Amino acid sequence: MAEARKTNCHFCGYLCGFTAQVEDGRITALKPDPERYPYDEQVLNGCQRWRMNLDVLDGADRVNHPLKRVGERGSGQWERVSWEAALDDIADKLMALRVEHNSGVVASMIGGPHTSFWPLHRFMSLFGSPNNAGIGQICWNPRIWSDVLAYGWTIEPDITEDTNCLIIWGTDPAESDNSVFWRSLLRMHKAGRPKLVVIDPRLTKTARIADVWVPLLPGTDSTFALGLLNVIINEGLSDAAFVERWCIGFEELAAHVAPYAPEAVAGVCGIPADVVREVARAFAQRPSTIITGRGIDQVGENVLPTHRARTALLAICGNLDRPGGSSLLQTSDFISELDLECTLDNWEVLADLSLNTGHTPLQSYAGYAHVKESMDADGRRLPARYLTSVHPDLLLRAMEGAGPYPIRAVIVEATNPLVTYADTHRMLAALSGLDLLVVLDYYVTPTAALADYVLPAAGAMERATFQAHGGVANFVYGGAKAVEPYHERKADYEVFRELGIRCGQAEHWPDATFEEACERTLAPTGLDWDGYCQMGMYAMPNPPFKHEQLDEDGSPRGFATPSGKVELASAYLDSLGGGALPAPGSSYRLCSDEFIQDRQAEGWTHLTLITGGRRQPYNASMYLNHPPFRAQRPLPLAEVSQATADMLGAAPGDVVTLATDKGEARFVLDVIRMADGVIHADYGWWHPEGPVQAPDFGGIFESNVNVLTSCSLEGAEPLIGTWAYNDMDCMVRAGGEALTFGSPIEKQAAPA
């Protein structure tokens, strides 16, 4: 009998609501559900992915039962095993390795928000390993750290009809975020308000609707931001009352930005000085706000200076905790990620084994403990595992045997590090040398092809969704699964629970299913699981001007920083060696002087490299297995300006080869309007159409940009450890072997 069930798509972080038609435990049809958040007809019309749900559920290439490696690593020879056998063996190996070495012997790797990661983190915390790697240092942490240090908590832009100017900084929501935000930008553009400023070296789809496009040179954002502060302060445009009442360090900031006059900044950023003035004056009209993205999160040394300057810009212009500017988020009413991940239950062990200690003083257990002190006083709970996540360079060193203790096992959940982590060659060597590699995924990805065990993950509509953004907002959305997982697939939560129980963690895993765990998480809100699934969310209004609200003792609440005010100058960051005020750093280098000279002698050109600009319909290394998408976007592209193309002697459609000290990758050239002397290369490219096995693991050495990159701590941002996917360098030449991408594909069948 057919039944209609509410569920969610999870092919992007947006989690649109759908009604699934279910017959005999199978979804037979899907239709958008206008009754639940976040329904938007235009979003759905602009989305190419959701119709793919049924294909993905039934895909011949899905892994449907646990696979155990039988041949050599990467040989593509597998044996089907039961979950019992797989989990027993994995748990036995992990326990034995822990006895032989220490509890840090296992590491984990995660990717973007494809699922809930706290179950993995709970397993790791209780096992005693601090070694979770993820995308934190280059995706989320720089913003969170800088907000928390400056304001005592995190903020979100609050764009209203009153907003005068919106700075869209290093983000291209037209491609990366087909959501209500992009749709509302289009509406705002039509209405002519707010003034849209896009800061991006490329003329992106978003930049094309901007009032002002600032095509600065990669990595010069912190200089640009200091230039904006210079104009605002010199022209007396700041919100004097807010600064006087709520900020500390303004005098130092004013002195600090004095040298960053528009003319000085213009030379560094490669833009006219008047643009600095124009943007500063527009932004200083209250309320105004800023939205940022990956473009400034992945720029090595400049990441923290840029974000720190951003926090100062918002604060001194009075755009904090104010409608049309930004809202200070609220701690969740539901159980926080910090408590779900159980980090505090095993704090000493984790802190003691953390590899970051002595290397990245902010992204560390000590750094977390510092902010926790002021948070605790205010009842705030920041997730700890992301903000202490191990630096990949240190992780790889331990995997390579360079100490301080060995890492011999890795659990990979919802990521494909051979394609999306830096330095593919180094990653491949390190993963190949492990005693145990376990990959939990939908597919035999290049990384999975190297594993000892591939475990079949249940996907969207086969598992519940609970998107809580680390619990930094009082807002969660998602809903129920529509069907039980097909075949022997399992929800991520259940995998880590069952592994945890085998490793002696039973008392910490009281809930048999993810739904029950979510229900427990929601309990403090008074909303039960069914209510949440019906509405698709739990959200509470977030009133502005919270810093002015009076506490019981009659004093204003202020900001949850040590001083109770916005810290424009940071004594703490100064004590860590980061300076009390933000100062620009250097670019991240991938080419040695010798390499540059050698290649120049052979006719190669040295360019600034940026990577990974998002493009629909793909996401990271995913959806390249979907034949219609490949027909639509068949080739990995590298973009340059016309002047740069002329310098290379290449035309659109030509193959170009990019090289760094790390390796080479080939792309097809495209010419767009963008900063000169810069090349932008796509990321995520491999051949899911297979064969996905050694030696090239689905073609990861052809057009995979991360063959060129590095996560080395040398040249990385010193406090968090952010390496770079933008503002790097590479050698480029026109020509190279033709690409094998470009022809229509068929799905390959997963190992049976």
Ligand X SMILES: Nc1nc2c(c(=O)[nH]1)N[C@H]1C(S)=C(S)[C@@H](COP(=O)(O)OP(=O)(O)OC[C@H]3O[C@@H](n4cnc5c(=O)[nH]c(N)nc54)[C@H](O)[C@@H]3O)O[C@H]1N2
Please give the residue ranges that form the binding site for ligand X (CB under 6 A): 111-112, 114-115, 135, 138-139, 169-173, 175-177, 199-202, 204, 218-219, 221, 293-296, 299, 413-416, 419-420, 440-443, 445, 457, 459, 492, 610-616, 618-622, 680, 683, 705-706, 709, 725-727
Closer residue to ligand SF4, CB minimum distance, 108 or 178:
178
Closer residue to ligand X, CB minimum distance, 17 or 584:
584
Token pair recorded at residue 274:
């008047």
Among ligand X, Mo ion, ligand SF4, none, the one that 704 touches (CB under a kind-dependent 5 to 8 A) is none
Amino acid letter, residue 37? Y
Among ligand X, ligand SF4, Mo ion, none, the one that 43 touches (CB under a kind-dependent 5 to 8 A) is ligand SF4
Closer residue to ligand SF4, CB minimum distance, 59 or 417:
59
| CA 641 – CA 217 distance, rounded (Å) | 13
Token pair recorded at residue 51:
């119709």
| CA 382 – CA 339 distance, rounded (Å) | 9
Token pair recorded at residue 92:
């036995």
Q: How far is the CB of 682 from ligand X (least distance, A)?
A: 9
Give the DSSP H or E segment for 472. Answer: none
DSSP-derived pairing of the beta strands 78-80 and 465-467: unpaired
Burial 250-260 (b: 16+ CB within 10 A, else e): beebbebbeeb
Among Mo ion, ligand X, ligand SF4, none, the one that 547 touches (CB under a kind-dependent 5 to 8 A) is none
Give the dihedral sign, CA 709/452/436/138: positive
> Is the separation of the CB atoms in 76 and 85 below 8 Å?
no
Closer residue to ligand X, CB minimum distance, 108 or 570:
108
Q: How far is the CB of 248 from ligand X (least distance, A)?
A: 28
Q: How far is the CB of 176 from ligand SF4 (least distance, A)?
A: 11
Closer residue to Mo ion, CB minimum distance, 215 or 417:
417
Minimal CB distance residue for Mo ion: 139
Q: How far is the CB of 451 from ligand X (least distance, A)?
A: 12
> Is the separation of the CB atoms in 490 and 504 below 8 Å?
no
Closer residue to ligand X, CB minimum distance, 420 or 561:
420
Strand ranges for 420-576 from DSSP E:
436-441, 453-456, 465-467, 475-479, 537-539, 566-567
> Is the separation of the CB atoms in 605 and 732 below 8 Å?
yes
Among ligand SF4, ligand X, Mo ion, none, the one that 9 touches (CB under a kind-dependent 5 to 8 A) is ligand SF4
Planar angle of CA 667, 670, 675, nearest 5 degrees? 110
Q: How far is the CB of 462 from ligand SF4 (least distance, A)?
A: 15
Closer residue to Mo ion, CB minimum distance, 614 or 662:
614
Secondary structure letter of residue 341 according to DSSP? T
Among Mo ion, ligand X, ligand SF4, none, the one that 616 touches (CB under a kind-dependent 5 to 8 A) is ligand X
Among ligand SF4, ligand X, Mo ion, none, the one that 123 touches (CB under a kind-dependent 5 to 8 A) is none
Among Mo ion, ligand X, ligand SF4, none, the one that 11 touches (CB under a kind-dependent 5 to 8 A) is ligand SF4
Amino acid letter, residue 149? L
The residues binding ligand SF4 (CB under 6 A) are 9, 11-12, 14-16, 43, 47, 49-50, 178
Q: How far is the CB of 10 from ligand X (least distance, A)?
A: 7
The residues binding Mo ion (CB under 5 A) are 112, 139
| CA 713 – CA 121 distance, rounded (Å) | 24
Closer residue to ligand SF4, CB minimum distance, 42 or 234:
42
Q: How far is the CB of 325 from Mo ion (least distance, A)?
A: 25
Give the residue among 381, 368, 377 at the shortest CA–CA distance from 471.
381
| CA 224 – CA 306 distance, rounded (Å) | 9
Q: How far is the CB of 550 from ligand X (least distance, A)?
A: 38
Planar angle of CA 564, 568, 570, nearest 5 degrees? 80
Closer residue to ligand SF4, CB minimum distance, 172 or 567:
172
Closer residue to ligand SF4, CB minimum distance, 178 or 363:
178
Tell me the sheet residues that pair with 8. Answer: 17
Q: How far is the CB of 262 from ligand X (least distance, A)?
A: 18
Among ligand SF4, ligand X, Mo ion, none, the one that 16 touches (CB under a kind-dependent 5 to 8 A) is ligand SF4
273-283 and 221-234 helices, crossing angle to 10°: 60
Q: How far is the CB of 194 from ligand SF4 (least distance, A)?
A: 24
Token pair recorded at residue 403:
């100490």
> Is the separation of the CB atoms in 407 and 105 below 8 Å?
yes
Token pair recorded at residue 610:
């940026």
> Is the separation of the CB atoms in 181 and 12 below 8 Å?
no
C-alpha separations of 12 from 8, 120, 206, 339, 340 in Å? 11, 20, 19, 26, 23
Q: How far is the CB of 113 from Mo ion (least distance, A)?
A: 8
Closer residue to ligand SF4, CB minimum distance, 16 or 309:
16
Q: How far is the CB of 608 from Mo ion (least distance, A)?
A: 21
Among Mo ion, ligand X, ligand SF4, none, the one that 452 touches (CB under a kind-dependent 5 to 8 A) is none
Amino acid letter, residue 589? R
Residue 264's Cβ-side half-sphere holds a number of Cα atoms within 13 Å equal to 12
Among ligand SF4, Mo ion, ligand X, none, the one that 462 touches (CB under a kind-dependent 5 to 8 A) is none
The whole-angstrom distance between residue 305's C-alpha and the CA centroid of its chain comes to 19
Among ligand X, Mo ion, ligand SF4, none, the one that 656 touches (CB under a kind-dependent 5 to 8 A) is none
Closer residue to ligand SF4, CB minimum distance, 16 or 149:
16
Among ligand SF4, Mo ion, ligand X, none, the one that 296 touches (CB under a kind-dependent 5 to 8 A) is ligand X
Closer residue to Mo ion, CB minimum distance, 17 or 142:
142
Q: How far is the CB of 182 from ligand X (least distance, A)?
A: 10
Give every CB contact of residue 508 below 8 A, 6+ residues apart in sequence. 122, 126, 342, 345, 500
Among ligand X, ligand SF4, Mo ion, none, the one that 14 touches (CB under a kind-dependent 5 to 8 A) is ligand SF4
